[in-house]
Structure 1
Amino acid sequence: MTPAEQVRPSEQPGLRERKKRQTRVALSQAAIRLCVMHGWAAVTVEQIAAEADVSVRTFRNYFGSKAEAIAAAHLERMLSVADDLLARPAGEPLWDALLHAVLGQFSPSPESSSQSDRWRAGVRLMLAEPALAGEIVRTNAAAQHELARAVARRTGTDAERDVYPKLVAAVVATGTGVAVEHSLRADDPAPLGTVVAQVFEQLSAGLPQP
């Protein structure tokens, strides 16, 4: 079962599935928070479970490792982008709708707002962890698949047969990744939302040469 199938077994999940997704989100956020604040090596699965107020057995029911738990945050974010995209007004241009949907998922967290420099440094160290790289690649593939499905519904194309929705999903995933990387590593960092808006402005204009 793919990561996306674990959190989206149907288009309209029932209460049980929504609660399972909420638990996944809580565990993923707890893993990120602890690893950013205390360092990858210092954080255990037991600590993550306690932070999310669940048992270790519950953690194991959802994730095989803390790397998998952390990478799941990206999938959850892109699932929310896909949901928000489909909820946007039908007549809104696609790239305007995508911008609003993406920006809605990139508001600063309380931790990143109150401890900006420390938080950014911790995120950089966490993302550099080799154990996380493979999980991020796998999760990103699932995230792009789900977003392509939403783009296809929005544009009347076919997510399996047509190139367009796949291309848009790949561009959105890459663009948001570039925005996050730039925001984390710039010498004079701008707020992530500002960088995301700049990225999408350039994408919607067709990436004109500066």
Structure 2
Amino acid sequence: MSPSTTVDGTSLRERKKQRTREALIDAAFELFTTKGFEATTVDEIAEAVEVSSRTFFRYFGSKEDVATSVQLQQFLDVYSALDARPAGEPVVTALRHAVGQVLRAYEEGGDDAFQFACVMRLVQDSPAVMARSLEMCTEQLDEMALRVAGRMGVDPIADPRPKLVAAVASAALQVAVRAWRETEPDEKVSDLADRAFALLEAGINYPPPA
């Protein structure tokens, strides 16, 4: 093993970059909580980690990108959880379990729970964060469609169903968050999402390949 490589195969440089990124996220959420999103500046986030603003922009394009970094990680976690679901599960059932697993983990998981609650408030209170959140959901549709197509054993270019599932799944999550934000703030987002996906199971729960 090279002296510049860790036991898990990642380089020390990559580990350092990951630590810097995580430190910027932690500092940003602390500032968002204490000062508010609008009042927090990029310079303040960078200063809290003792890096330059230029370094900040190597990791994030804007404050909104930091605020929604938790949501981006949730998408990545959902993909991993979806890949781990039994191959025989219909596609929406697999998505329902994967999404529920990830949301519950964030709701109950220490620092993750703090950041998850914070980003939910930011989405509720900041039009800029809401807009970036919706934009991110749109950006992830193609990747979600690819994952769905893989479970269905179909070509996502020739078969429109994976893109339909991805779009409807994204809409279901947005419906759940909107219900939490506007009418059911005492409920868990994971429970509201589960309810939305349960409704989808009755309609477009395409089976895996025979």
State the TM bucket, normalised to the shorter chain.
0.7 to 0.9
CA distance 1:84–1:26, shift in 2 (3 Å): farther
The answer on whether the counterparts of 2:92 and 2:201 sit within 8 Å (CA) in structure 1 is yes
Question: Once structures 1 and 2 are overlaid, which stretch shifts more, 170-179 or 128-137?
Answer: 128-137
What stretches of structure 2 of length at least 5 have no aligned partner? 1-8, 205-210
Aligned match of 1:162 in 156, 159, 162?
159
CA distance 1:163–1:54, shift in 2 (3 Å): farther
CA distance 1:126–1:176, shift in 2 (3 Å): closer
TM-score, reference length from structure 1: 0.72
- Tell me the percent identity: 35
Following superposition, the deviation at residue 36 of structure 1 comes to 4.1
* Partner in structure 2 of residue 184 of structure 1: 181
The answer on whether the counterparts of 1:35 and 1:43 sit within 8 Å (CA) in structure 2 is yes
CA distance 1:179–1:62, shift in 2 (3 Å): same
Largest Rg, 1 or 2: 2
Deviation digits for residues 20-58 of structure 1 (CA, Å, limit 9, x no counterpart) = 66765664465345324431122122343456x462343
The answer on whether the counterparts of 1:183 and 1:190 sit within 8 Å (CA) in structure 2 is yes
Q: Does 1:175 align with 2:167?
A: no
CA distance 1:112–1:38, shift in 2 (3 Å): farther
The answer on whether the counterparts of 1:99 and 1:197 sit within 8 Å (CA) in structure 2 is yes
* Partner in structure 2 of residue 5 of structure 1: none
TM-score, reference length from structure 2: 0.72
Once residues 112 and 84 of structure 1 are traced to their aligned partners in structure 2, the CA distance between those partners, rounded to angstroms, is: 17
Aligned match of 1:150 in 133, 144, 147?
147
* Partner in structure 1 of residue 80 of structure 2: 83
* Partner in structure 1 of residue 6 of structure 2: none
* Partner in structure 1 of residue 39 of structure 2: 42
Other structure's SS at 1:97 match: helix
Aligned match of 2:102 in 94, 100, 105?
105
Once residues 185 and 91 of structure 1 are traced to their aligned partners in structure 2, the CA distance between those partners, rounded to angstroms, is: 37
Once residues 77 and 192 of structure 1 are traced to their aligned partners in structure 2, the CA distance between those partners, rounded to angstroms, is: 13
CA distance 1:22–1:133, shift in 2 (3 Å): same
What stretches of structure 1 of length at least 5 have no aligned partner? 1-13
What RMSD over aligned residues (CA atoms) do the two structures have, in Å?
Answer: 3.3
Deviation digits for residues 112-164 of structure 1 (CA, Å, limit 9, x no counterpart) = 978xxxx57x8445544233344334322221121111111111122333211
